[in-house]
Chains A and B, each alone.
Chain A
Amino acid sequence: MTTTTTRLYCLVVDDSLVVRKVARRILNSLKFNVDEAENGQVALDLCGTLMPDLILLDWNMPVMSGIEFVRAFREKYGAVSAKVIFCTTQGDVEHIRDAAAAGANDYIIKPFDAAMLRRKIEAVLGIAA
């Protein structure tokens, strides 16, 4: 029996190069294909080319912020299967509430590590990554 495994595709949206690098390293180790965008607008354009299975989304970004992205994304692409995990910093409870209302699926608190991110992804995608 042969099995073909399709790699899942994750878009990392963050204006911080360090966060993108860390996330890419972790996601690669989980066998994801990874693309990066430094703001919501770039991410929105990339989604038009290839729809991600997962979007890891920063809150504060120039040009287009995380919450603006979620709203625009849900409006433009409707109920596509892409899951959105947004990144917040400690204590941004308002962000958690607003993002959930706008259509984010879950959140992760910075600073995150490999184990934390893996568990979030497994929970959101309902898989063992």
Chain B
Amino acid sequence: MYVANPTAIKALADVVVSSMQRFRIPLTPENYSLWYEYHIGNNRELQRTMDVIISNSADFDETVLHDLYVTFLSSAKEAEIVRETSVNVQDALRNLISVALRVGVDADEFGAALTELAAMEHTKSTDGLRDLVGHLIGESRKMAEKSQVAGARMRESASKIETLERRLESALVEARTDSLTGLANRRFFDSRLRALAGDAMNSGDELSLLMIDVDRFKRVNDTWGHRVGDELLRHLASTLQRTVRREDLVARYGGEEFAVILPQADAAAAIAVGENIRRALASVPVPLDVTPVMPPATVSIGVSCYQPGDPLSEWVGKADAALYRAKQEGRDQVRYIQ
């Protein structure tokens, strides 16, 4: 269903809003986009799932709505990238096949392999698409090797596909990256937090969280300006990346607040990582060319551990409360709330 003119848009909005009222759904942007998607019918999985809920006359409470949003819509940008790229990949496939046929390479060996690939339902997920592109590169290399005549054209095709692969990767990375610091953004953090908590619930492994806030950041901005403030955030980001364990996820949570998810880390291990961060930062002046010289920046850090069965908001709330306590008790310290 494609809606082009203002009257149709208004009519659709009316349908969406009245349907939301019928189910007593609060009119938030998140909820509106869920209901809009439901009625416009592009997202069949979302529609199917909401139908299951409606037919069971289940409640669309806050949790269900948030689950739906996280599951079906918050990754919509990623899905869009996958969709666009898969169209390009299909084009590249068609080219390869026609080149293969034109230069008379053995159709059994190459054409068939490619046609099979093209027919596969590979292109619906990021991983599937990666596999497909990987196969494509392999197949076109094989073709280039086997056919002297077609060598140059095959190499050209192959390099186009490789470019495509790099573009796919970079677009996917961009969708989950904070542009100022290069860390994971809040959206990606939220989805990883949920997924890792699900894993921890299944495996029984420990899972911890650090919330990190730059001390007196406003003063830095007021004294040296926002550009220096931004530089400080980048300095902190790179210190964080260097200091955490390989398996930890560092994200910019918002403003001057950062977060680290630590899989398989109990409270003691998480506090130790927090202490390493605090010390690494406090021990060196901020490497910025400003006058007067900027003293070392400090951070306050709150730590909490995930308890399976507790709401995620409670877990994050505990780390926030621990962070608040670290601030109250004089900043530049790590506090843990059980």
**Chain A residues at the B interface, C-beta cutoff of 8 Å:** 16-19, 22, 25-26, 89-91, 93, 96-97, 100, 105-107, 109-116, 119-120, 122-124, 126
Contact = CB atoms under 8 A, between A and B. Distances in A.
B204 A111 contact: no
A113 B48 contact: no
Q: Is the interface of A mostly helix, strand, loop or mixed?
A: helix
A123 B72 CA distance: 22
B53 A16 contact: no
B52 A22 contact: no
B64 A110 contact: no
Given A26-B309, A119-B64, A19 B57 contact: no
A111 B201 contact: yes
A93 B71 CA distance: 8
Contacts of A97: 45, 48-49
Nearest to B67: A109
Nearest to B68: A109
Interface stretch (B11-19, B20-28, B192-200, B321-329): B192-200
B311 A90 contact: no
Given A119-B64, A123-B57, A123-B58, A90 B198 contact: yes
Given A16-B201, A16-B203, A93-B45, A115 B312 contact: no
Interface string B58-73: 1101011001001110
Contacts of B222: none
Contact of A111 (B56, B58, B197): B197
Nearest to A107: B52
- Provide the main secondary structure of the chain B interface: helix
Interface residues of B, number: 35
**Which of B53, B195, B198, B314: most chain A Cβ within 10 A?**
B198
13 contacts: A18-B201, A19-B308, A22-B201, A26-B309, A89-B198, A90-B67, A90-B71, A106-B58, A107-B52, A109-B67, A115-B311, A123-B57, A124-B56
A111 B198 contact: yes
Contacts of A111: 194, 197-198, 200-201, 306, 308, 312
Nearest to A110: B198
Nearest to A18: B204
A128 B59 CA distance: 12
Nearest to B63: A116
